Chains A and B, each alone.
Chain A
Amino acid sequence: MKNIKGALVPFSALKYLGKKPHTVRYPFEKKKTAERYRGFHFNEIEVCIGCGTCSTICQNEAIDMIKIEGVEPGRGDSGLRPRIDNGRCCWCGLCVDMCPTGSLSLTDQYLHTSPDPDSYLLIPGVDNPEMKENISFTKSDTEPLLQFDRVPMRELDGAERVKSFAEVVLGYMQEEARAEATRCVDCGLCVTACPDHMHIPEYIGAIAEADDAKALKYIYDNNPLPEMCGKVCTRQCETVCAIGHLGEPIAIRWLKRYATEQFPDPAAILNPKIAEPNGKKVGIVGGGPAGLSAGYYLALRGFDVNIYEALPRMGGMTFAGIPKYRFPLDSLDKQIDYMKKVGVKMHNNVRVGKDITFDKIRNDNDAVFIGIGFHVPYTLGLTGEDLENSIQAIDFLRRVNIGETVDVGKKVVVIGGGNVAIDAARVSRRLGAEVTILYRRRVEDMPADWEEIEGAEDEGVHIVPQGIPLEIIGENGKVKSIKYGMAEMVPDDKGGRPRPKLIEGDEHILEVDTVIGAIGQEADYSFLPKEIMDELKIERGRVVVNELKQTSIPDIFAGGDNVNRTMDAISAIADGVRAVEGISHYLLDE
C-alpha cells in the first residue's frame, strides 16, 4: 500500500478503548433531561378553566376536551379539561405557550411503552398528579404568543370632560377594533358570565374578520339594546375572560359598541323577519331595558305589544339615571326608533295606576309584563335630611336628564360608593360644583366600577373613604354643612368583609351647598290593586318569578331591577328575553 500514513492513522482510535462512553450507560441510567425539556403534559386542574385553547391550537389534534368527574362547570369554567393522546402528540409545546391561564406545562418525563392503546390517553393533572414535581417547560412571560395588552381606548381628557356632557369614551376606530378582536381565543367562557348569554365569541370573531354586519346580527340575536350595553354594560363577561387571567381581558363591551356604532340604522342590516300577527296581546308596564327587550322580541314573534311608561321617554334608568356623557340621548333614540319600526307600540307619560289602571291593562291583554325598576330612593336616616338642598341622587339625575335646570351650588357632597353615587358626583362636577364623595368603607370596597372611580378622580372628584355622615346641619331651612366621623375597619365577627367602626372623637365638618344621597332604591308597587298585591308573591321588595319570568299569577310576568339582584341593564335585558320565551310558552303553548 502506497499511502502508509493513511493506512496507519486509523489505528489511533485504539486509544479510546478504555474510555467511558458519553451516550449509553450500562446498567441503564435514565438521562437527566434539561430544564426546559418537553415531555409529558401536566395540568394544574384547579387553575385550568377548560377554555380549550390548547385543543384548538394543537395541529396534531392530540387534545380532546372532556368532562371530568369532580370538575363542575360554572362562571368562567366550562367544566371540561384537556386529555392528551400521546399517540399523536409531537411535544411541540404550542399548547403550553397558548394556554391563557398558564395551567398547562410539559414535564421532564418521557418514557412510556405499552401494548395498550388506551394507556396513551393522558388527562394531565388528573392521571399524573405526581408529575407536578417534574414540570419543566412552562409558558414564557417574555415571549408570549397571546396578546395580553388591550388596545387602549381613547377618551376625552379629564379637564375637558367636566366642561360639558359630551361623551367621554370615544370608541374604537376600525383598525383598533380589529386588533382588539384579534386577541380573542374564541373559547366562549365569557358567555357563562353574561346574564343574557350573548353570542360573544361569534360577534368578536366577525369583527376580527372585518365583517361588522355579521357581528351585528349575532349581537341582535338576543340583545335589542346593544349600543346601550356597548356603552354602559357592567360587563360581567370581561371578569372571566380567559385572556384576563394573565393579561387584560378583551374589551368585549367596547367591541360591541364598535359594531353597533358602525350602522346608523340597524334595520338596514338586520332586515328582521317579523312573524305574522298571532292574535295575542301583551301589555308591558315600564319602558326600561326589561320592558323594551320583552317588547321587541314579542313583536318579532307576532305579538301585539303596548308599553306604558311614566316618564316622557323610553329607556328607564338608562334614560333617567345614567348621565348623558356615558350614554347620549341620540344613541338611545336610535335604538328606540328601531324598535318602533319593528312594531312595538310605546306610550310615554302614562303612569300605570294613575293615568290608566293596571286592571284595564290586564283585561285588554292576554299577558302582562312588569318591569318598573327601582325608582324610590332609600333615605339616609340622618337629622337634617329634610332640609332644602338635601336631595336624592336618582331624583337629581332624572331631573338633569329630563332637561331641568338644577342648582347644586358650589359645593356638593355625595354619600355612597356605588355607580349611582359616582354618576351623581360626576354630573355635579359638570354643573360646576366642587364635589366630595363620602363613603363608609375603603376605596377598594366601593361597589362602583374601578374605571368609574378613576374617571371621577380624573375629573377632580375628591373621595373621602371611611367617612360616615352623622348629621346634616342647616341654616334657614337650607343645607349649610355636613358632619361626618372617620371610621376604622374592623374584622367582621361573622367572617364577612371588614366593617367600618367609628373612631370616637374623629369628627369633621364640611361646608356644603347640597347633600346628595345615593345609598340605594326600591320598587314602587303602589300601582297594583290590592287583590293583585295579595296574590303576587313579593320577597324583600322583589317579585318572585320562575325560570321563564312568570310570577305567582300565571298571566303576569316580571323582570328587571324589580326581580333580579344584579340590578343592571343586561340583567334586565336577559329577563326580558327569557320572559318572551315564558309568554310564548304560556300563550301559544310553544
Chain B
Amino acid sequence: MSAILQEKETTLYLGPQHPGITGNMMIELKVTGDTIRKATTHVGYLHRGFEKLMEERLWMQCFPIVCRICVPEPDPNEENLARAIEELEGREVPERAKYIRVMMLELSRMATYLLWMGGQSGSAGLYTMPQWTVGDRDYIIDLFEELTGGRVYHMYIWPGGVRRDLPEGFEGRVRKVLDYLEQRLTDYDRLLFENAIFLRRAQGVGILDKDMAMEWGVVGPPLRGCGIAHDVRKDEPYEVYDQLDWEVITHEGSDVYSRAMVRRKEFEQSISIVRQVLDKMPSGPVHNPGPNPLKWRVPAGEAYVKTESARGEFGYYVVSDGSLKPRRVHVRGPAYVHGVSLLERMLVGANIADTSFIMNSLGTCPPEIER
C-alpha cells in the first residue's frame, strides 16, 4: 500500500489557519506519502496596505499603523519609524528615553519568545506549554498596560523619545516579573527544551546550513542557530545597547532545536539586559517635543534604520519629500525573507507534520510579510 501512496502525488492545502502561526497564511503542498515534494506559499489574507496608507497620513498618524504591522511584536516597528524620523530631522532623544526604549524592546522580545515557545510546542503537539507561556506573557503585557495604557499595541515609542515616563514604583514591578520569569525558566526547560519528544522532533529537523543562511539573507535566531554571530544590536548598536553588557548568543546545529536554544538563551539574556537598564537608567525628561503634528514636515531625505527584533533584522526605509506625509515607508521584516521563498525551499523533503514546526522555528509572521 505504501508503495502506491509514494508514487501518487497529492496536493494538500495547509492553512490559512493552522497551529503555531500568528496570523493567516496558506501553504500548498505537493506530497507523496507524507513527504513534501514541493511547497508553495500563498499570502494575501492579511494585506492591509499599511505602506500605502502611510503615504496618505500625517507623519504622526503613521504610529497607530506601524505597531499593527507585527501583532506579537509591535515595538520594534514604533522604534524604527521613530528613529528613522529622528535621523531625518536630526532630533535628539533624551538619554532616559533611550533606556526606556531598550527596556520596551527587550520586554517585547521576551513576550514574543514566550508566544513563540507556545507556538513551537503547540506545533509539536505539546499543549501544556502554550497555556503556561501565554499566561506568563500576560505578566509582561500587564507591565505594558501599566506603562503605555495599551496591552498589545502600545503607541508608546514616538519621535523624540517615549510617550510617558514610568509610573511610580514601576521599576520594582518589572523586577518582580523578571524574577518570576527567571525562575519559570526551569519549568520551561523541563517541559520543552529538555523534553524528549521535543528533542526527537527538533534535532536534525529543518536544517538550514551556514552558507545557505548567508546567501538567503537569513537573520536573527535562525542565523545564530547556525553558529553565526550576527545581531543588529552589536553590528550597528542603536539606543544604548553599546552601553550594556551582553554577548551575541549562537548555537551550532542549524536545526529547529538550535534555533530554539538561541531563543531560550536570549530570553535569559533579555532578563539580564532589562535589569541592567533598570540599574543604569538616568533621570530626566523622556521626550524631546517636535512641531505640531498637524503641520509637521519632515525634512526631505531618506533613512534606513534597523533593530534586532525577536525574529531578526527589522528595517525601515523611510523617504521624505519634505511634505506633511511620508513619501515612502518600506518595512523590512525578517519573516518576509524567511517565510516565503526560504520556507518553500526548506519544506522540500520534509515531513508534512513538520511543516508548522519548521515554519515556526523560522519565526514566520504573515501580518509582517504582507503589511
A–B touching in complex (CB under 8 Å): yes
Q: Closest chain A residue to B146 by CB distance?
A: A34
Q: Which residues of A contact B146 (CB under 8 A)?
A: 34-36
Q: Which residues of B contact A5 (CB under 8 A)?
A: 194, 196
Contact A184 B295 (CB under 8 A): yes
Contact A140 B164 (CB under 8 A): yes
Please count how many residues in chain B sit with their CB below 8 Å of the partner chain's CB atoms.
Answer: 51
Contact B138 A34 (CB under 8 A): no
The yes or no answer to B148 lying at the interface (CB within 8 A) is yes
Compute how far the CA of A106 lies from the CA of B145 in the bound complex, rounded to whole angstroms: 14
Contact with B along A173-185 (1 / 0, CB 8 A): 0000001011111
Contact with A along B133-172 (1 / 0, CB 8 A): 0011011001001111110010100000111110100000
Q: Which residues of B contact A147 (CB under 8 A)?
A: 289, 291-292
Q: Which parts of A437-487 form the interface with B (CB within 8 Å)?
A: none
The yes or no answer to A60 lying at the interface (CB within 8 A) is yes
Compute how far the CA of A205 lies from the CA of B196 in the bound complex, rounded to whole angstroms: 68
Q: Which residues of B contact A59 (CB under 8 A)?
A: 57-58, 61-62, 64-65
Min Cβ gap B205→A in Å is: 16
Min Cβ gap A21→B in Å is: 7
Please count how many residues in chain A sit with their CB below 8 Å of the partner chain's CB atoms.
Answer: 50
B293 touches which one: A7, A145, A184 (CB < 8 A)?
A145
Q: Which residues of A contact B116 (CB under 8 A)?
A: none
Q: Closest chain B residue to A98 by CB distance?
A: B293
The yes or no answer to B60 lying at the interface (CB within 8 A) is yes
Min Cβ gap B371→A in Å is: 16
Q: Which residues of A contact B57 (CB under 8 A)?
A: 59
Q: Which parts of A1-40 form the interface with B (CB within 8 Å)?
A: 1, 3, 5-7, 9-10, 12-13, 16, 21-23, 33-38
Min Cβ gap B11→A in Å is: 36
Min Cβ gap B74→A in Å is: 12
The yes or no answer to B30 lying at the interface (CB within 8 A) is no
Contact with A along B262-280 (1 / 0, CB 8 A): 0000000000000000000
Q: Which residues of A contact B165 (CB under 8 A)?
A: 142-143
Compute how far the CA of A316 lies from the CA of B49 in the bound complex, rounded to whole angstroms: 61
The yes or no answer to A218 lying at the interface (CB within 8 A) is no
Contact B145 A13 (CB under 8 A): no
Compute how far the CA of A59 lies from the CA of B62 in the bound complex, rounded to whole angstroms: 8
Min Cβ gap A54→B in Å is: 11
The yes or no answer to A94 lying at the interface (CB within 8 A) is yes
Contact A143 B286 (CB under 8 A): yes
Q: Which residues of B contact A90 (CB under 8 A)?
A: 64, 68, 153
Compute how far the CA of A306 lies from the CA of B2 in the bound complex, rounded to whole angstroms: 109
Contact B64 A142 (CB under 8 A): no
The yes or no answer to B232 lying at the interface (CB within 8 A) is no
B61 touches which one: A12, A57, A182 (CB < 8 A)?
A57
Q: Which residues of B contact A183 (CB under 8 A)?
A: 291-292, 295
The yes or no answer to B43 lying at the interface (CB within 8 A) is no
Contact A208 B61 (CB under 8 A): no
Q: Which residues of A contact B291 (CB under 8 A)?
A: 147, 179, 182-183
Compute how far the CA of A92 lies from the CA of B156 in the bound complex, rounded to whole angstroms: 9
Contact A6 B195 (CB under 8 A): yes
Q: Closest chain B residue to A136 by CB distance?
A: B149
User: Which 9 pairs from chain A and chain B are nearest by CB?
Assistant: A6-B196, A59-B61, A92-B64, A36-B149, A9-B190, A143-B287, A38-B149, A34-B146, A7-B196
Known: A36-B148, A92-B155, A140-B163. 17 other contacts (CB 8 A): A3-B196, A3-B200, A6-B195, A6-B196, A9-B191, A10-B191, A33-B145, A59-B58, A59-B61, A59-B62, A93-B149, A94-B60, A94-B61, A143-B165, A182-B291, A183-B291, A185-B294
**5 A-B pairs (CB sep. < 8 Å):** A7-B196, A57-B61, A94-B64, A142-B286, A145-B60
